[in-house]
Structure 1
Amino acid sequence: MVSLAISISIVCTTHSSLAAKQGLPLPNQIISWVILALSLVVPLLSVTFLFQRLLSIFLSFMSSYLLLSTGYEAFFPVALSCLMFVWIFMEQEILVKQGSSFKQKLNCIDFSCSADIAQLRQLNLDDTRRAFFLVFFIVTAFFGTGNIASINSFDPASVYCFLTVFNPFVMGALMMWKILIPFILVMCSFETVQISAQISSKSLFLIVLVISDIMSLHFFFLVKDSGSWLDIGTSISHYVIVMSMTIFLMLLSGLAHWLTTKKIDIRRKKKPHTT
């Protein structure tokens, strides 16, 4: 929360300084890079209980996203995070109403204790819904405020908190990180749903693989080899994006597992007293 408040202050002061033609203040630039670097470390300092860890992850990445936003798009991760909590509560309510023997209280779920979930049960129809929601939210996160194509025509004001000198490689890397942040929020929520339902993520990814294969077949038959270059390129890019979705989700799943289960203990262990 402190990081988010600092990010809001940095954005406001940077905008005022640039509007007054005074350039990017050096303290603002340093703090912006520090917040960006700590966005992957700060969540690991919190406890591994479900709500505390998820709130830490969401707030930490919101801070980085806010520094890379220029307007209303800064509210997108806020809305997406609220939607993810609704999804988590919805899945929990379904488990309770069904009287499932695998239901757990959300307040009692510890990511570190639920890290190694084996095949506790077989797949059922509800798992198809969970996998479909994952694909739906990933697509929503991808096209929520922009996609890969937006890097070619992005507003340079998005990176003014980090640098004002033209540097295509650094700017491109910052924009890629901005695009990845909503994906990380979705995958961390999916990790929570998977643990609360007590099913292996590998089993759910099999359903995701089937859904992505069906989508890839659909877009394969929509690939065009005639017409304008824009139509041809768009049809091919849609097919490539769907085909690479599974590998991309597996990599993000590993990152989400690391963010939710790992913990950095900065307290020194006390040495036992010898008598």
Structure 2
Amino acid sequence: MLLFFIVGLLVHFVFFASIFDIYFTSPLVHGMAPQFTPLPPPARRLVLIVADGLRADALYEFDEKGNPRAPFIRNIIMHEGSWGISHTRVPTESRPGHVALIAGFYEDVSAVAKGWKENPVEFDSLLNQSKYTWSWGSPDIVSMFAKGATGNHVFTHSYDADSEDFGAKDVTKLDTWVFDNIKADVAPLMASLIGVPFPLNSVGILPVNYLNNTDAFKAESMYTNAKQILEQFKVTSIHFSYNTDITQFRQLCLDDIRRAFFLIFIPFVLVMCAFEAVQLTTQLSSKSISHYVIVMCMTIVLVFLNGLAQLLTTKKLGLCGQPKSHLI
């Protein structure tokens, strides 16, 4: 009886551990070549100000007297700059939100192994690609980006962790400290503005409408975005073929195999043909040609992002196909 209980406990432990092995593995890959736009960038410096926890509707609305709550920002929006609202994904926390803004990818599920406090896998970010970076803010956030940076070009300054008492004391003191010491599509936009390589793990799509530049520059930037996503797809495909045994897919339904074939391989062949056409037309400066390049690169990015998602899903189907057959 005791032996039966121990064996049953071990079996349940193996099944429980398999859930983490299948669904809680990091989708981030390494080994991609950096991609950057060869044309001169619109700016030499970029300042990113993040008001963590502030909703867009609370910032843009008017007060009881009909006056804007942020008059300076509203004046910039209405008369000088470009603006937009970037919708976040869950979880809506500080760490994954800043990672989406600066690194260009969403929450890594393997962070559950770290108690959702940090990213367990090193990743590339805009701060790492820039020549020099100075950052001020929370010790939980700025130190995270300095940890994965190569070289000594990222300088961080954070307040004492004891100062983070968000309830009992005046929270504006933290903002005063920052002033005194002076989401995924945002990352490629910032990289394009200052002419640095796109973050290697970014899955963001460059919003070209916010670029106040020539059509040729927009086309080149979108083309760089497509090449960066292509690098991710190539490396992920290599990892997928190297780590996956095709015999594992014998237990899968035929519909799953058909979906993987039609959603990955056939679009991949068609998109590669379009990619070659884009490479030939990027040398031309015609406005119509630039618009064609932007549209084609946008299509390429969407297909490759869908391919990345399908590769991860197909890998999980292959891993969980055997356990499902035994459980049934």
Task: Give the TM-score normalised by the residue count of structure 2.
Answer: 0.26
Computing the radius of gyration from Cα coordinates, the structure with the larger value is 2
- Higher RCO (CA 8 Å, separation ≥ 6 residues): 1
Higher helix fraction: Structure 1 or Structure 2?
Answer: 1
